[in-house]
Structure 1
Amino acid sequence: MRIVVATHNEGKLAEMRRILEEDLGADAARVELVSAGALGLPDPVETGVTFQENALLKARDVARRTGSPAVADDSGLIVDVMGAAPGILSARWCGRHGDDAANNALLLAQLADIPDDRRTARFRCAAALVVPQAQAGADGMHAVASETVEVGDMTGHLLREARGGNGFGYDPLFVPDEQDGDLTSAEMTPERKNAISHRGKALRQLAPAIAALLR
């Protein structure tokens, strides 16, 4: 079964593939994950005001266009002292979408005077699965048959300088709570990060709904 992941980020696709392979077990071999980018699909405008709304918006768009089940996630960093910002604006906090270095630099500048014990934060991920109806309409688009959305959090705190070369986004600044040590998300192996990550938690909750499609 083909499932289209609503992303143009091949790194995110690989991370999702690893997480789902762990949780689907033998069923993983029956799932072909492809990215929306590989299919040449456009990025929908993210008009939602929550992670859940944006995840569903992206998954619906891909499912309606392709007629295949679609998985999408929307995630970001919530900094407590900043009133939950950057939140849904995390990927474009500096004004340009996906400029990780500029986003990190701006965040560090904004937190420069915040003491270490107040630099608490959390990554949040909403993961959505949208299943379309088999028959397309007159416009070539497929109506939605069902949809599911799950949410996962990873709590931690933010450093004053980046560490580590793995991951993406704010990973080099973020030290998760759920570990015996003080590694940033960018210093962890993919397996270690996926075990505790916000995306891992959300996708693991979504895995039973994906598995049900294979039966």
Structure 2
Amino acid sequence: MENASTSEQAQRAADVQRAADVQRVADVQRVVISTHNSGKVREIDRVIREALAERSGRSDRSGRSDRSVAAESAGTGAARPARTFEFVTSGELGLPDPVEDGTTFEQNALLKARDAARRTGLPAIADDSGLIVDVLGMAPGILSARWSGRHGDDAANNALLLAQLVDIPDAARGARFRCAAALVVPAALAGTDADVEAVEVRDMEGRLLREPRGANGFGYDPLFVPNDQPDGASELTSAELTAEQKNAISHRGKALRALAARFSEILL
């Protein structure tokens, strides 16, 4: 009798644990960050996670790297339990890079988000961003990551840009970073007849130096001095800012915070 009782208790405990596991999984919504760029992954993850936490009345500035966040459902009436979003990258899922054949930042961001959402059936976030230099028109623009001909070679891209601007006086070295951040939610998850899409575009104005400074960030950050500077600071490049300082003023931070509002409306 004692053995039977023990067995029943163990079975009940196992059933309870299984139910808890199912509920836990049901409450977790995976979201794909469509990029293989480790620098972008860190920025997108941190900004979206903090924005969702702030919108749900929480605070998350811990610098965690687990890429998950719990957010309260936003609606009126009876409170629903917090929903956890787990961010996973396209690289972690083994997704190939889509061909970026758009002619604008917005088109390329949507192209990448649509591709990731289609391949996975999950909500997808993507961004396309780059540097626009006044004296070069819209260049490097959507070609920023491969300006030197080698995709993602930051040192080569910076060196070529400096060579192109060598005769440009300081007063004419104005530039801006632009980011288009896109969200695509499959219709089945959004409860709609068609996929739901949103795009937000934001800029960060500044100017370019004649030599790089700073070890943070990536891309053209060591050459770019934002007009907006942290309190008590002046003339810091984007690569001299902390992650929190940069996210507060950057093109990507602004675009992603705006996108987080749409994210909350659709998925919470």
TM-score range, shorter chain: over 0.9
1:171-209 CA deviation, whole Å, 9 max, x = no partner? 000000001410000000000000000000100110111
Structure-2 separation of matches of 1:51 and 1:158: 21
Pairing of 1:67-146 with structure 2 (within 5 A)? 67-134=121-188, 145-146=195-196
Give the one of 214, 228, 241 matched to 1:188.
Answer: 241
Please give the alpha-carbon distance, in whole angstroms, between the structure 1 residues aligned to 2:118 and 2:102: 18
1:207 corresponds to 2:207: no
**Counterparts of 2:168 and 2:42, CA distance in 1:** 35
Structure 1 residues 70 and 144 mapped into 2: Cα distance closer, same or farther (>3 Å)? Answer: farther
Structure 1 residue 20, shift from structure 2 partner = 1.3
**Tell me, what secondary structure is at the counterpart of 1:96?**
coil
Residue pair 1:64, 1:144 contacting (<8 A) in 2 also: no
Of 110-119 and 143-152, the range deviating more from structure 2: 143-152
CA distance in 1, matches of 2:267, 2:120: 18
Q: Is residue 2:110 matched to residue 1:60?
A: no
Partner of 1:129: helix, strand, or coil?
strand
Unaligned runs of 5+ in 2: 1-28, 57-68, 71-83
Q: 1:16 aligns with which of 30, 33, 44?
A: 44
Question: Counterparts of 1:73 and 1:189 in 2: how far apart (Å)?
Answer: 21
Unaligned residue ranges in structure 1 (runs of 5+):
136-142
Partner of 1:134: helix, strand, or coil?
A: helix
Scaled by the length of structure 1, the TM-score of the pair is: 0.93
TM-score by length of 2: 0.75
Select which of 207, 226, 231 maps to 1:176.
226
**One-letter identity of the residue aligned with 2:40:** K
**1:184 corresponds to which letter in structure 2?**
T
Distance 1:10 1:93, change over 3 A: same
Q: How big is the shift at 1:132?
A: 1.1
Q: Which has the higher strand share?
A: 1
Q: Match of 1:121, as an amino acid?
A: A
> Separation in 1 of the partners of 2:52 and 2:263?
8
The residue aligned with 2:77 is none
Q: CA RMSD in A?
A: 1.4
Q: Per-residue deviation at 1:145?
A: 1.2
Q: Percent identity?
A: 69
CA deviation string 1:9-45 (max 9, x = no partner): 1221111111112211165321111100010000000
Residues in 1 aligned to 2:48 and 2:199: alpha-carbon distance in whole angstroms: 15
Segments of 4+ in structure 1 off by > 6 A? none
Larger Rg: 2
Q: CA deviation at 1:168?
A: 0.3
Which residue of the other structure, out of 206, 221, 227, is the alignment partner of 1:156?
206
Aligned residues: 208
Q: Which moved more, 1:205-214 or 1:184-193?
A: 205-214
Q: Given that residues 10 and 35 in structure 1 are in contact (C-alpha distance below 8 angstroms), is that contact kept between their aligned partners in structure 2?
A: no
Question: Could you say which structure has the greater relative contact order, defined with CA pairs below 8 angstroms and 6 or more residues apart?
Answer: 1
Q: Secondary structure at the match of 1:210?
A: helix
